[in-house]
Structure 1
Amino acid sequence: MPTAAEILKMSAEQATILFPGDEREIKKRFHRLAMTWHPDRSSDPKSGDVLQKLIELKEVALRGCLKVVRHEVLLKTDEDKTFRLNFLKENLTEAGRILIGTNTVTFIHRPDLGDIGRAEKERVENLKFANDMMRKQMRTLLPCTIKSSALKDGGHFTVMERPAGSVFLKDLIEYHGGQMPVRHVAWIVSGLMNIACYLEWAGLVHGAISPEALTIQPEKHSVHLLGGWGFVTKIGERPIALPGRTTEVYPKIAVKGQAATPEIDASLIRNVALDCLGKSHGGQLLTEGTVPKPFANWISLPPASRAVADYEAWMTALVESFGPRRFEKMSCTSAKIYGV
């Protein structure tokens, strides 16, 4: 295992010495080193600098072995039409597949969830707004459907616009070795709380907020809730279906007759924050002291029953944790993850 001094002295030309092999081997090696040198795990005073250097060297090594690979898939609709899709990366989810293209994102629901896929387009197109100003503000955070169709095998696909420069949060967490810097997690939570307040105003519970459903624009600090809209339920109604992740995070919803409430989305947002921080439960944050205490308390304690009250509690915790708000630059870009 190289020392901190050895890693910090390495030049770009030496990246392949530390990260030899193909893409898979490079990422596996980086994950091991990132877990060792992350400031939350290492007592070395230079661990933060070492982690940043590891990220830079990993990117150099990846550029040396990777070319932009474009994939293609043919989808057969229930009308016997063939739809051709080009994409850069595929993510697998509980509900099916996500194909990430240059300008689009395609959600493909497996046959037994075809009804969820069909509901997705309807829910997105029927989102309401108080006025044109709200529509303009919120539309940048919500999906825009390009095409939606049933598949011959009983599944369903929906093509949506991919916000320029955006990265799926799942891929962003992986890029950071499974543990993102806490200040970046904070602004992601802020974006999600804005969306939660809108959903409550609209009388809806999303019910499927997760790293697989979210894209992030690192350069603009914006958060977009693209996926999972087929699971949306009106507040006060019993959900027809929910992802397994949701019932694990909010087990109360599994009780017969339990209706959807904004607490579901608030709980899922906290769970997303834990995913970003590489933790499985809030208790770890309280005992390890790896994040400011007000932030740890907000994640660990039950959410308020109303999204607006929860947002106010979050803003208080945010200021107490980090002081006045300031823009925290993120080194990652869409090109570093998807190649274009």
Structure 2
Amino acid sequence: MKDVTEFTAAEILAIKVEQPEKLFTVDNLKTEKRTLATKWHPDRCKLDEADKVFAHIQNLFKVAEDRIEKNSWNGPATLQYTTKDGSTFKLKYRRVMELEVGKMYIGMKHLAYVITPDYEDLFRNGIKMINSIKYPKPKFEEQFKRQMPVIVKASETDIGFVVVMEKTEELVLLKDLLDYLPENKLDPRHVAWIMSTLCNIACFLDMNGIAHGAISPSTFWVSPKHHSGVLLGGWWYARPAGEKLLALPSESINILPKEVFVDKVGKTVYDRKLIKALGLECLGDKSHSGSTLLKDSSIPSTVLSWLRGATVPSAVDEYSKWGKARDDGFGPRKFVELIVDINQIY
């Protein structure tokens, strides 16, 4: 996040009054407000927009103070917690996101999930499922470990059950990327590499006998720079394939077939259904049916047909079907840059 003195008049006025986190930081709020007030006060600044900018800064500051007082700040700050043995830890984060099971704190190199005490069973299940991931051969570890979560610390604390995971600086939550982009959707060519990554992950989960159950833009992280992705979130809902589910997030409930509510068993085929729904959402269809995309000529028909089609029992066969649809639709593979300034998102 850049220094407040670097913001132009247009940039400040473009910040919505309900998003003071885009201008201020919680640790330096009053100092930043004084700096901005000095710079943009109409008696000092001779720009025509000075009056509007100064008034907007005051409004943003009022909302910021209210957010801090109500503990609902959603910008750069420090998370502090104490474990049961008395150890205290701090984590600098850029953004906080509300979850059905707690909160997620997004830092540059780490990610912290704080699970509320009511969901202790899901917390312990998530840790167990992550620890159950196996790499039968060195080549599998080399390929897939970078797509799976790495736990730095998992503890019972004074603020709930905390799980800290590794996160590289270029990673952005797919949901945040979509919210940031114009029209909240991706070019079909970028959706293609996301689908390839997720189909690959689906094969690995299937090989491990893990039904994740929560693959969505809110749990999958992407690297726009490297065209890669990591499945960091949603592990609280994962189960060994064939075993009873503990719970499902609302996003999955709205997408999965009715049979999931009958047998309530984790199935890897459900993950592949969720992956296709994610692809449709990335293209701009939040209904996940694909019907609103039928007239979009930028989406190859083979790709859309695969996304809208039924999933097949085998993860490997599904990957093969996707590969054919992708290659028939886009032709020879080409690396298309996705230029995103992560600092504008976090």
TM-score (norm 2): 0.75
State the one-letter code of the partner of 1:303.
T
User: Which segments of 5 or more consecutive residues in structure 1 lack a partner in the other structure?
Assistant: 1-14, 28-64
Deviations 1:272-331 (A, max 9, x none): 112212212212222554511111111111111111111111001101111111111111
Deviations 1:12-37 (A, max 9, x none): xxx865x661533699xxxxxxxxxx
Question: Which residue number in structure 2 is paired with residue 123 of structure 1?
Answer: 129
Q: Are the structure 2 counterparts of residues 168 and 256 from structure 1 closer, same or farther at C-alpha, using a change threshold of 3 Å?
A: same
**In structure 2, which of residues 159, 165, 175 is the aligned counterpart of residue 160 of structure 1?**
165
2:332, 2:17 → 1: CA distance? Answer: 41
Q: Are the structure 2 counterparts of residues 94 and 275 from structure 1 closer, same or farther at C-alpha, using a change threshold of 3 Å?
A: farther
Deviations 1:229-263 (A, max 9, x none): 12111112221222121121113344332432222
Deviations 1:56-108 (A, max 9, x none): xxxxxxxxx9xxx6301222444554432211111222222111112101111
Could you tell me how far 1:142 is from its partner in structure 2? Answer: 0.7
Q: Does 1:21 align with 2:6?
A: no
**Number of residue equivalences:** 283
Q: CA RMSD in A?
A: 2.4
**In structure 1, which of residues 110, 128, 145 is the aligned counterpart of residue 151 of structure 2?**
145
Q: Are the structure 2 counterparts of residues 254 and 134 from structure 1 closer, same or farther at C-alpha, using a change threshold of 3 Å?
A: closer
**In structure 1, which of residues 309, 312, 318 is the aligned counterpart of residue 326 of structure 2?**
318
Question: Which residue number in structure 2 is paired with residue 304 of structure 1?
Answer: 312
Could you tell me how far 1:115 is from its partner in structure 2? Answer: 1.9
Question: Which residue number in structure 2 is paired with residue 171 of structure 1?
Answer: 176
Tell whether the 8 Å contact from 1:107 to 1:157 is kept in structure 2 after alignment: yes
Identity %: 31
1:333, 1:137 → 2: CA distance? Answer: 27
1:25, 1:329 → 2: CA distance? Answer: 33
Q: Does 1:233 align with 2:239?
A: yes
**In structure 2, which of residues 95, 105, 108 is the aligned counterpart of residue 99 of structure 1?**
105
Q: How does 1:158-237 map to 2 (within 5 A)?
A: 158-177=163-182, 178-237=184-243
Q: Are the structure 2 counterparts of residues 258 and 193 from structure 1 closer, same or farther at C-alpha, using a change threshold of 3 Å?
A: same
1:85, 1:274 → 2: CA distance? Answer: 35
Q: Does 1:328 align with 2:336?
A: yes
Runs (4+) of structure 1 exceeding 4 A deviation are 78-81, 287-290
State the one-letter code of the partner of 1:103.
K
Tell whether the 8 Å contact from 2:174 to 2:217 is kept in structure 1 after alignment: yes
The answer to which of 220-229 and 234-243 deviates more is 234-243
TM-score (norm 1): 0.77
1:195, 1:253 → 2: CA distance? Answer: 24
Q: Does 1:286 align with 2:294?
A: yes
1:253, 1:82 → 2: CA distance? Answer: 45
State the one-letter code of the partner of 1:90.
V
2:277, 2:100 → 1: CA distance? Answer: 16
Q: Are the structure 2 counterparts of residues 253 and 229 from structure 1 closer, same or farther at C-alpha, using a change threshold of 3 Å?
A: farther
State the one-letter code of the partner of 1:293.
S
Tell whether the 8 Å contact from 1:93 to 1:212 is kept in structure 2 after alignment: no
Q: Are the structure 2 counterparts of residues 105 and 136 from structure 1 closer, same or farther at C-alpha, using a change threshold of 3 Å?
A: same
1:253, 1:224 → 2: CA distance? Answer: 28
Q: Does 1:73 align with 2:73?
A: no
Question: Which residue number in structure 2 is paired with residue 89 of structure 1?
Answer: 95
Question: Which residue number in structure 2 is paired with residue 8 of structure 1?
Answer: none
1:99, 1:243 → 2: CA distance? Answer: 19
